[in-house]
Amino acid sequence: MSETFIILQPARELTTLDSVEPPFIVQEAGGNARYAYAEFFGDQIASDYTRKAYRHAVHRFLSWCEAEGLELARVPPGGVGHYIRTLTTVDGRPASKPTRKLHLAAIRKFFDALVQRHAVAINPASTVRGPVVRNVTGKTPATDPTQARALLHSIDTSDVIGLRDRTILAILMYTACRAGAVSKLRLRDFYSDGRQYYLRFDEKGGADRQIPCRHDLQGYIEEFIAAASCGPDAPLFRAALGRTLKIGERPLQTKDIHRMVKRRLKSSGLPSILTCHSFRATTATDLLEQGVPLEDVQELLGHADPRTTRLYDRRDRTVTRNVVERISI
C-alpha cells in the first residue's frame, strides 16, 4: 500500500468536518503520523463538539512545539507539563483548571493514536498530571419551573415553526435530554408500546435511551407532526425555508437548536445567560425539591455516577447558622 493512498482517503473525510491540512510538524513526521492524525480526527471521536475542542487543543500544542523547535517524535514529558501549566486564554489570562484538563486530555489521546500507528515510540503526555478539579455544584445556569412554563406559553403556535420550537423546548424540559440528542430525533423515534408513548434518544457516548412522554409533551409532538408531515426515517425537526414560516428538508443541527433557544429566551424576556443545558439543571432541581430520589433523577439524566447528577442540583446548599450552632464542642 502506497503512502499516497494512506494519506488521501482520510483527508477527504476530514474535509467534510471543516478540518484543515495536518500541521507542518505532523507532515514532517512521516506517513504514519499523517495517517494517525487523519484517523484520530476523522473516526475516533464521535462527538462533533469534542472533535472541534480536541482539534483546537492539539493544534495549539503543535504550534507551540513548532515554535520551540521540537519534533513530534521527540516531545519530552516535561515539555507537555510545562505547556499545560503555562497555558493561557486567547487574551493572555491564565487558563482555568477545566480548560487545562481538557487540553491535556486531547494531547494525551492524540499521542495515544500516534503510538498505535507507530508514528512515535512513547506518549509524552501519559505521565503528566493535570489539575485537580472538584465541583460541588455545576456552573450551568438554571431557571425555575414558572419561568420555563412562561417560555413555553410565550410561543406563537399559529404556524409550524412555532409548533416546532415549542415542541423542542418541551422535550428539553420534560425529558432533560441534551440538545444534541434532540437534533438526532427522527419520526420513528416517537413511538408507542400500546400503553404510552416514548422518545428514543441517541445520547452522549452512544447511549440509546427511551424516555416516556408525559401527556402534554405527547400532545405537543402530535400537533407538530400533523402540521409538518414527514416520513418515518426523516428528521423530526427540520430548518425553516429561508425566512419563511415553512419547514424545509434540512435537519436542524445542534447549533440551530441553541440559536433558536437563545432567540426564544430573548423574545420572552428571560435572562440571556440561560442555555439549552439550563433545562437539565432546572428539571433535576425541580424533581429533587419534590422529594424524587436521587437515583431516579440520575436515571432520567442518564448519568453513570450520582455525583454528576448532584452537579445539576441548584437547591440552596449554603451552611446556615442553625447547623454550626448544633456543633457539640
Q: How far apart are CA 221 and CA 164, in angstroms?
A: 8
Do 298 and 157 share a structural domain? yes
Decide if pLDDT at 14 tops 50. no
Residue 25 located in a structural domain: yes
Tens digits of per-residue pLDDT, 188-202?
999 999 999 999 998
Answer yes or no: is pLDDT of 204 > 80: no
The pLDDT of residue 134 is 64
For residue 255, tell me if it sits in a domain.
Answer: yes
pLDDT of residue 155: 95
Instruction: Check whether 214 has a pLDDT greater than 60.
Output: yes
Better-scored residue on pLDDT, 80 or 133: 80
The answer to whether 107 and 244 are in contact (CB under 8 A) is no
Biggest distance spanned by C-alpha atoms of the chain: 77
Picking from 45, 30, 208, the residue whose alpha carbon sits closest to that of residue 112 is: 45
Closest to 14 (Cα-Cα) out of 51, 66, 50, 49: 51
Amino acid at 224: F
Write the single-letter amino acid at 24: F
Residues 149 and 276 in one domain: yes
pLDDT value at position 50?
86
* pLDDT at res. 325: 58
**What's residue 321's pLDDT?**
57
Q: Decide: pTM greater than 0.75.
A: no
Segment 95-132, tens digit of pLDDT: 998 899 999 999 999 999 999 999 999 999 999 988 87
Residue-level pLDDT at 249: 87
DSSP 85-111: HT-B-TTSPBPPHHHHHHHHHHHHHHH
Asked which of 143-157, 177-191, 297-311 is least confident by mean pLDDT, the reply is 297-311
Average the pLDDT over each of 47-51, 92-96, 219-223, 233-237 and give the range with the smallest value: 47-51
CATH classification of the domain holding 201:
1.10.443.10
Do residues 154 and 93 both lie within one domain?
no
Last residue of a domain, one of 74, 101, 116: 116
- Please give the residue range of the domain that contains residue 47: 3-116
Tell me whether residue 130 is in a domain: no
With pLDDT > 70 as the criterion, what percentage of the chain qualifies? 86
270, pLDDT greater than 80:
yes
Residue 286 lies in a domain: yes
Whether residue 285 sits in one domain with residue 151: yes
Quote the number of domains for the chain.
2
The predicted pLDDT at position 1 comes to 37
Beta bridge partner(s), residue 210: 200
Which residue in 164, 167, 201 sits closest to 182, CA to CA?
A: 201
pLDDT of residue 231: 76
Measured CA angle at 27 (ends 22, 28), to 5 deg: 150
- Among 63, 95, 116, identify where a domain stops: 116
Can you give the pLDDT at residue 18? Answer: 43
Q: What is the distance between the alpha carbons of residues 189 and 198, in angstroms, rounded to a whole number?
A: 8
Residue 17 predicted with pLDDT over 60: no
What pLDDT, on a 0 to 100 scale, did the predictor assign at position 3? 37
Taking all residues of the chain, what is their mean pLDDT, rounded to a whole number? Answer: 85
- Do 161 and 306 belong together in one domain? yes
Considering only residues 299 and 20, tell me which one the structure prediction assigns the higher pLDDT.
Answer: 299
Residue 322 in any domain: the answer is: no
Residue 265 has pLDDT above 60, yes or no: yes
The label of the residue with cell 420534560 reads: 174
- 139, 109, 118, 132: which is closest to 30 by C-alpha? 118
> Cβ(165)–Cβ(260) under 8 Å?
yes
φ/ψ of residue 191, rounded to 5? -145, 165
Nearest to 6 by CA among 28, 37, 41: 37
Q: Are 124 and 79 in contact (CB under 8 A)?
A: yes
Per-residue confidence (pLDDT) for residue 131, from 0 to 100: 85
135-151 tens-digit pLDDT: 555 667 888 889 999 99
The residue with cell 425553516 is: 240
Domain boundary among 116, 137, 157: 116
Grid cell in block for residue 298: 440520575
Residue 4: which pLDDT band, with cuts at 50, 70 and 90? Answer: very low
Q: Which three cell numbers stand for residue 279?
A: 433545562
Coil/strand/helix, residue 318: coil
Is residue 187 very low, low, confident or very high in pLDDT (cuts 50, 70, 90)? very high
Answer whether residue 318 is part of any domain: no
User: Within this chain, do residues 174 and 63 fall inside the same structural domain, yes or no?
Assistant: no
How many residues belong to the chain? 329
User: Are residues 156 and 112 part of one domain?
Assistant: no
Which pLDDT does position 309 carry in this prediction? 76
Q: Are residues 214 and 261 in the same domain?
A: yes
> 156 and 105: one domain?
no
Q: Single out the residue of 133, 137, 113 nearest to residue 125, CA to CA.
A: 113
Residues 101 and 250 in one domain: no
324 in a structural domain? no
Residue 6 has pLDDT above 80, yes or no: no
Instruction: Return the bridge partners of 235, or none.
Output: 186
C-alpha distances out from residue 97 to 72, 86, 269, 323, Å:
26, 11, 33, 31
**Both 108 and 210 in a single domain?**
no
Judged against a pLDDT cut of 90, whether residue 165 lies above it is answered with: yes
Residue 13 reports pLDDT greater than 50: no
Residue ranges of the alpha helices (H) in the chain? 3-15, 24-28, 31-42, 48-67, 77-85, 97-116, 145-153, 160-175, 179-183, 215-227, 254-268, 278-289, 294-301, 306-310, 321-325
Quick check: is 128 in a domain? Answer: no
Same domain flag for 189 and 57: no
